[in-house]
Structure 1
């Protein structure tokens, strides 16, 4: 409309990410995930069924809920108080719920990670597919408080960042459960949705 030549800001080519990915220590990653899953010999599941159909006396429903500003604010306050991310807080709560329904003190589910390594300059503006799914393992002991658990899980999440680009199928191959290691995933998106809408 204004008869100007479009000027695009320079972007880092995706090939730099591929080069970075190929330089990662796959043996260290395999060792990390094998140790991470060591001793996990079960499958964590959630009840499944078709909406509106009774299965074993259970009625399944599809429910969407909004946590609201007040509850979200209180959750963010607790996360800040314990120096953890809201994602870690929610993953820990979900893991405890799964433990309750599976009669266990150890639960594994999938977590989607952005996969954009801070090591690469300009990665935030690079166009390409980076996401990966990794196992999230939530363990609890009789003496553990929720605060203890979220701090432990935050530290584990930080450690896992170094290995989050390792392919899920390779991680599954290291486990006893193989493809049954992960029954479902959680995706935590932390961008301002309302501003986008």
Structure 2
């Protein structure tokens, strides 16, 4: 039997999908007594309900959060353009798309990981720094903005990492690409800024845009960087007796 399961992104994100599948497979193993399923895997974990996250959101200090984004987006009057080979169509009406897949060689990947570890950085920061430099050079601007997708799971909410629901959000990342100073110092500043931004990731993008000088129909950003590191277990089904 083959099961195809679809869901709307409004109710679930990639991190949560792993938890939901884990619960479903555990339930299947428990009901069927599937051979090969470890007893320790059939127990359903006690996850905090999503309503606890909603309650946490309602308790946030909106004044402090909005002031952060006012300061962050002060004076922003233009969207950083993403280089294109034809005039862009009106929003959501593009008729052609393409995907380019690039695999980073293992030696390069290890070198980036070693650099990040040695300098107290994350690989995500290195990727964002590279994208910021590319946008700056292509657009001819020292001040660039792009979107960054974050997990949205507050570390101060116990059990948030095991909850199921929609948590992710995309934040505007504003970067000053200056020609002075060292690369590592610039990357550390970028990482610190990102860390501070994530403290206020619950502010809606529509609200953030109100703090800019962008025209009404202009977007906050034309490109986003998504660095996925949520848990994935390719052997999950087999471990629960669902080959």
How would you bin the TM-score normalised by the shorter chain? 0.7 to 0.9
Largest Rg, 1 or 2: 2
Distance verdict in 2 for CA 1:146–1:137, change over 3 Å? same
Work out the CA distance in 2 between the residues paired with 1:143 and 1:134.
Answer: 26
- Bigger relative contact order, structure 1 or 2, given CA contacts below 8 A and separation 6+? 2
Listed as ranges, the gaps of 5+ residues in structure 2 are 1-31, 87-96, 236-243
**TM-score in terms of structure 2 length:** 0.70
Aligned-pair CA distance for 1:62: 4.5
Work out the CA distance in 2 between the residues paired with 1:77 and 1:143.
Answer: 25
SS at match of 2:44: coil
Q: Residue 25 of structure 2 aligns with which residue?
A: none
Q: Does 1:67 align with 2:95?
A: no
Q: Does 1:29 align with 2:65?
A: yes
Aligned-pair CA distance for 1:81: 2.1
1:40–1:106 contact (8 Å) kept in structure 2: no
Q: Does 1:2 align with 2:40?
A: no
- Paired residues in the alignment total 186
SS at match of 1:174: coil
**Structural RMSD (CA):** 2.3
**TM-score in terms of structure 1 length:** 0.86
Work out the CA distance in 1 between the residues paired with 2:58 and 2:230.
Answer: 29
Q: Does 1:97 align with 2:128?
A: no
- Segments ≥4 residues shifted beyond 4 Å: none
Work out the CA distance in 2 between the residues paired with 1:124 and 1:104.
Answer: 38
The within-5 A match list for 1:35-184 is: 35-49=71-85, 62-177=99-214, 179-184=218-223
